Chains A and B, each alone.
Chain A
Amino acid sequence: MKIEFANGRIVDPANGVDRIAPLYVAAGRVAAIGNAPAGWHANRVIDASGLVVAPGLIDISARLREPGLEYKATLESEMAAAIAGGVTSLACPPDTDPPLDEPGLVEMLKHRARSLNQAHVHPIGALTVQLQGKALTEMGELVEAGCVAFSHADVPLVDTQLMWRAMQYASTFGYALWLRPSDPHLGRGGVAHDGEVATRLGLAGIPALAETVALSTILSLARDTGVRIHLCRLSCAQSVELVRAAKRDGVAVSADVAVHHLHLSDVDIGWFDSDAHLVPPLRTTRDRDALRAGIADGTIDLICSDHAPVDEDSKQVPFAEAEPGATGLELLLPLTLKWASEDQIALPVALAKITSEPARLVGAGAGDLGVGCIADVCVFDPQAWWRVERSALRSQGKNTPFLGLEVQGRVRYTLVAGQVVHEG
C-alpha cells in the first residue's frame, strides 16, 4: 500500500521538521518527504490540507486491563481508543490481574495485541513478584519476552532495601525502572490532596510530602546505583523542584506528568466528583502551574495519559470508595494541544512531549518520521472542536473529569506501520 498525504503540515519533532510538504508512505515505512521517490504511484492520495501530519503518539502509561480485568476494558476496546486518539505505541503498566510478573503473561499480551494489528504494545514488567514488594521478578526473562521497563504501578514499595537491591540488579543489566514516587505511610488512607479542599469536604488527605519524601529516596538510591530511572506522574511543585535540582547535578533521570494534572486541581473535585478521584491526587492550582512550567522548561520530559478505564459500578460510590483513575487515550492529544495553546507553546515543542520524548523510553524507533522509519503517523485537524461525551469515547471506560468539555484537535487518520487503522 502506497499512501501520499498531500498538502499537510508535517511536524516531526525528532528531526526538527515543521513544513508543509507531501509525505510518502510505502511498504510500511516513510518513503520520502517533499519530493516523491522515483517511479512513485500512490494507491491512495489523501488531501491533508489544514491538517497536521505528525508521528504517531506514544503513551507510556495506558492500562488495557488485560489480563483479568476485562469487565473494565478489553484489548479490543482500548486499542480502538488508542488509534482513535492517534496513539500508535503504548506502554501498559503491570497492574493487571495477575500482574505482569512472568514471561508467559507478557508474551500472551503481546501476541493478543499483535493479532489486533493496531497500536504497538510495550508491556512494563512488574518489578516484584505479584507486585508484593518482596521478591524480584525474573527481569532478564521478562525483557526477552518484550518488557521495556519495570515498575511497581501504583502499589507502594514499602521496603527501601528491596528498592535499592532492585536498582542495583537492574543497573547491572541496564534495565530501566519507571517508578511513581509514593511514600506508603505518609499517604496512608488518603484519597485527595491534603489541603483546603480535602479539609472542607472531610476527605482523608495525601500530603505532597508523600511524593517528595519518596522522590528524595528514589533519587538518592538512583545516584548510588546508577540505574536508569524514570519518575512517573509527578503531581506537586516541590517534586518539580527536586527533579530540576537533580538534573542540574547531572543525575540521569527523566520524568513525566499525566495530562490531567496540567489542567485540573483539587478544586475540580467539586461536590465529590468521583471522576476526579485520581492517583496521584489532583493538587493545588499552584502545583498545577509548577507542573506546566516544568514540562515547558524540560524538567519534566514528557506527558502521558495515565489511561485507566474504570467500570461504572466502581465509580458510582462515595468518593473515597471509588476506584481512582481516568480514561485518557483519546484525550492525550487535545489536552496537550490545550496546554500548548494556553501557555503559548509552539506546536512542535508540544508534540515532542507525546512523540519524540516518550520514544526515548520505549525505543523501537517510534516517534520519528525520518525517511526509512516505520510509518506510524497521526494526522489531525488542530482546529476541529469536539465535545468530550460518553458517546464520543471508544474506550470502555467513560470515566473522565473532562466530560462536557469542548476540546480542540481531532484525529483524522492514524497509520500504524503504513496501514490506515483509523479514519475519523
Chain B
Amino acid sequence: MRNPQLNANGELTHLLTLEGLPSDVIRNILDTADPFVSIAEREVKKVPLLRGKAVFNLFFENSTRTRTTFEIAAKRLSADVINLNVGASSTSKGETLLDTVDNLVAMDADIFVVRHAQSGAPHLIAQHLNTHGRSHVHVINAGDGRHAHPTQGLLDLYTIRHYKREFRDLKVAIVGDVLHSRVARSLIHGLTTLGTPEVRVIGPMTLLPAKVEAMGVRVFHDMREGLAGCDAVVMLRLQSERMKGALLPSAGEFFKHYGLTQKKLTLAKPDVIVMHPGPMNRGVEIDSAVADGERSVILPQVTFGIAVRMAVMSIVAGN
C-alpha cells in the first residue's frame, strides 16, 4: 500500500500523518524550518515562496490558535489566505465534506489546511483529490480526531532537536490523556522514526489506548517512575469533558497522580525540557511554577510552530 502522502518519487505532496514518513523527509522539514525561524527576527518577515498561491484554512472544528499559526505561516510565505469556518456554514446546510472540497478546488485552492473532528478526514480528502486528477492540490492535516496532528508533532520534534541536538540518546515522556490525543500519536511516530531510543507514555489505564506499546513506547502508570531520567517531558492537555465520569473521578485526583510539579520534575534529568501543545490547564496537568519555570519551553514551541508550518507548506507546494 503506497503512502498516500508521497508522490511516485517519494516526495511529500500532502502532510497527513508522520506515520510511515521516511526519516529523511522528516529531517528535511526540520532543516527547512531553520532559516524560517530567523525570518521572524527580521524587520520584514516575508519571503515570496508562495506568492500567488491560495491557502484555504478549512476548519471543520474550531481552533483559534492552530488556525492563526497556519495563517501567519502562509502570510509570511506571501500566500493568499482564506479562512473558512466550515463547521458554521456549508456542512450545516447538508453539504458533504467532499462537495465542499470540490467547490473550493473550483475556486483554485492550492493548499488545504484541514482540521476535522473525525480521524481520517484529511486522508479522505487527499485520496479524493488524488483519484480525481487534482493531485496538484495539497492537503495539510491540522488535526483529525484522535488520529494525527503532524505539524504539532513536527514542531515538538523541532523543539527537542533545538535543545537536545540529537535524538539517539534521549528519553522522552508523554504524560496524560494519550487515548484522545492526536498530538501524542504524531509525536510518538516522529520520535520513533528519528531513532529515539526510549519513548514513554505515562497515564492511568483509562487514558491509554489499547496496545499502545505496539507503537514502540514503554508504558508507565506511576509518574515518578516514568519521569526518572527523562530528557524531555511532554504534558498533554486534559479536555474538561474527560475530567469527570468513567475515565477519571476528578481533575484534582488527576493532578495528584499525573500533574507535573517542581518536585516530580526533579526526578527527570537536570537539563530536562518541559513541553505542552497548549492550551494549558494550569493546576490540572501542569503546575504554574513548572509552566512558567526555567525548564519550560512552551512559548518557544509556539514560535517554532510557525517556522515548521512554513517549511511544510513550502515543501508540499514545491512537489
Contact = CB atoms under 8 A, between A and B. Distances in A.
* Closest 8 pairs (CB-CB, A-B): A202-B147, A272-B120, A202-B146, A318-B118, A199-B209, A202-B119, A196-B214, A196-B211
Nearest to A208: B210
A198 B118 contact: no
Nearest to A313: B96
B177 interface: no
B126 to A, nearest CB: 9
Contact of A202 (B97, B128, B148, B214): B148
B121 interface: yes
Contacts of A203: 119-120, 145-147
Contact of B120 (A195, A199, A271): A271
Contacts of B119: 201-203, 272, 318-320
Interface string A333-360: 0000000000000000000000000000
Contact of B145 (A194, A202, A317): A202
A194 B208 CA distance: 12
Interface string B170-188: 0000000000001001000
A205 interface: yes
Nearest to B178: A199
Contacts of B211: 195-196, 199
B118 A199 contact: no
A270 interface: yes
A259 B96 CA distance: 32
B192 to A, nearest CB: 12
A316 interface: yes
Max chain B CB contacts within 10 Å: which of A194, A270, A271? A271
A316 B98 contact: yes
Contacts of B116: 318
Interface in A300-332: 313, 316-321
B215 interface: yes
Contacts of B118: 318-321
A204 B19 CA distance: 18
A200 interface: yes
B205 interface: no
B285 to A, nearest CB: 20
Interface in B123-141: 123-124, 127-128
B215 A202 contact: no
B8 interface: no
Interface of B: 1, 4, 19, 96-98, 116, 118-121, 123-124, 127-128, 144-148, 182, 185, 209-212, 214-215
Contact of A205 (B19, B96, B120, B209): B209
A331 B19 CA distance: 33
Contacts of B98: 316
A320 B97 CA distance: 14
B123 A205 contact: no
A207 interface: yes
Contacts of A319: 118-120
A319 B4 CA distance: 16
A317 B120 CA distance: 9
Contact of B124 (A199, A207, A317): A317
A150 to B, nearest CB: 33
Given A200-B214, A316-B98, 11 more contacts: A196-B215, A198-B209, A199-B209, A199-B215, A201-B120, A202-B148, A203-B145, A205-B210, A207-B210, A272-B124, A317-B97
Interface residues of A, number: 22
Contacts, number: 73
A271 B147 CA distance: 11
Interface string A193-225: 011101111111101000000000000000000
Nearest to B117: A318
A139 B232 CA distance: 65
Given A202-B146, A270-B1, A317 B96 contact: yes
A317 B1 CA distance: 21
Given A202-B145, A270-B1, A271-B4, A318 B214 contact: no
A61 B124 CA distance: 30
A313 B99 CA distance: 11
Given A271-B1, A272-B119, A321-B118, A199 B97 contact: no
Given A194-B210, A196-B214, A318 B121 contact: yes
Contacts of B123: 271-272
A63 B132 CA distance: 31
A354 to B, nearest CB: 31
A94 to B, nearest CB: 29
A377 B214 CA distance: 49
Contacts of A202: 119, 144-148, 182, 185
Contacts of A204: 146
B211 to A, nearest CB: 4
Contacts of A272: 119-120, 123-124
B210 A200 contact: no
Nearest to B118: A318
Contacts of A195: 210-211
B235 to A, nearest CB: 19
A200 B97 contact: no
Contacts of A207: 210
7 contacts: A195-B211, A196-B211, A200-B19, A271-B127, A272-B123, A313-B96, A317-B96
B215 A200 contact: yes
A274 to B, nearest CB: 8
Q: Which of A200, A203, A204, A318 has the most CB of B within 10 A?
A: A318
A1 to B, nearest CB: 48
Interface string A209-249: 00000000000000000000000000000000000000000
Nearest to B5: A271
Contacts of A318: 97, 116, 118-121, 124, 145
Interface string A9-52: 00000000000000000000000000000000000000000000
B214 to A, nearest CB: 4
A320 B121 CA distance: 10
A205 to B, nearest CB: 6
